[in-house]
Amino acid sequence: MDIFGIPIQAFLGQLLLGLVNGSFYAMLSLGLAVIFGLLGIVNFAHGALYMMGAYVAFVGLDQFGINYWFSLVLAPVTIGAVGVVIERTLLKRLYGIDPIYGLLLTFGLALIAEGLFRDHFGVSGQQYPVPELLQGATNLGFMVLPNYRAWVVFASLAVCLGTWWIIERTRLGAYLRAGTENPALVQAFGVNVPMMVMLTYGAGAGLAALAGVLAAPVIQITPLMGSNLIIVVFAVVVIGGMGSILGSILTGLALGLIEGLTKVFYPEASSIVVFVIMAIVLMIRPAGLFGKEK
């Protein structure tokens, strides 16, 4: 069976790949949105944190025999701690000044991280094996579904929805949202806002690292994998608008799918399609699809 002259197997395979990429876009743009909301900083280092998460998994397995499942916890915790240190030592000096400085500072941090990893690991890609439990594929009748890819989509969706639930439905999330609106007032009510800001950046960093571990078995791990991705994620964020959590998740997934479709029908354009969509959205709806601010 064919769809527009493309075998349905290949078609669905690309769609699934698109969905996998979309899950990473969703997780990363979610982290960016939460950090931006509370800290007012566009975190260019998000890509580097994602890369470092993948390397924690890789080095863990390679040097210490730490398995995938343990890395899923270890990497976010380690990189989250790195995030906390970054926030305490550097980012906190930038609150209240023009947000472009936050972007530039995190850009510098990304350069440092990439340079260090390049010096140590070189530029060639590293492979990370698919964990035993998730090897192989399931035959669904109309397509063969690689188990690991299904797991990535499932796990990132679960994480994204979990984050949404925490922010929109819990007391902690209410503090967070209030802090986004008016930190001074929230602090006046006795909430430790600096602590909350610190933990938010740490959690965002951890989320990026978690995406890195999930990505490790399906991509080549290289020191540059983060920066190339983060620019696409920026476009995703502009398209979705940073106003809404569910909006970020939906936009991320949808753009991954569209990218997958483009790979099927017009592969030359697959690397630019997200940017083209961004340009169109800006022409029609400058605030982004789910954006609220002017």
Partner 1 sequence: MAAATDTSAVASKGGQIAMWIGLAVLLAAPFIGLYPVFMMKALCYAIFACAFNLLLGYTGLLSFGHAAYLGAAAYATGWLVRTAGLPPELGVLAGTACAALCGLAIGLIAIRRQGIYFAMVTLAMAQMIYFVFLQAPFTGGEDGLQGVLRGKLFGLIPLANDTVLYYVVLAVFVAVFLLIIRIVHSPYGQVLKAIRENEPRAVSLGYDVDRYKLLAFVLSTAIAGLAGSLKTLVLGFATLTDAHWSLSGEVVLMTLLGGMGTFAGPVIGAFTIIGLQDFLSDRVGAWINVIIGVIFVVCVVAFRRGFVGELIAWQKRRRAQ
**CA pseudo-torsion sign 88, 156, 34, 251:** positive
Ramachandran sector of residue 137 (left: φ over 0; alpha: ψ -120 to 50; beta: rest): beta
**CA count, 13 A, side-chain hemisphere, 131:** 21
Q: How far is the CB of 37 from partner 1 (least distance, A)?
A: 13
Nearer to partner 1, 114 or 146 (CB): 114
Q: Residue 123's Cα: distance from chain center in Å?
A: 22
In the set 81, 112, 161, 174, which binds partner 1 (CB under 8 A)? 112
218 binds partner 1 (CB under 8 A): no
Q: Interface with partner 1 includes 93 (CB under 8 A)? A: yes
Task: Quote the Cα angle for 122-127-128, to 5°.
Answer: 125
**Encoded tokens for 223:** 């020191």
Q: Report if residue 97 touches partner 1, rule: CB under 8 A.
A: yes
Report, in Å, the least distance between residue 96 CB and partner 1. Answer: 8
Output the smallest distance, CB 177 to partner 1, in A. Answer: 20
| 279 is an interface residue for partner 1 by CB under 8 A | yes
Is 216 a residue that touches partner 1 (CB under 8 A)? Answer: no
Assess 261 for contact with partner 1 (CB under 8 A). Answer: no
Residue with tokens 């791990």: 221
Token pair, residue 51, equals 């890369």
Least Å from the CB of residue 270 to partner 1: 9
Whole-angstrom distance, CA of residue 210 vs CA of residue 208: 5
Contacting residues toward partner 1, per CB under 8 A: 42, 90, 93-94, 97-101, 103-105, 107-116, 118-119, 227, 231-232, 234-235, 237-238, 268, 271-272, 274-276, 278-279, 282-283, 286
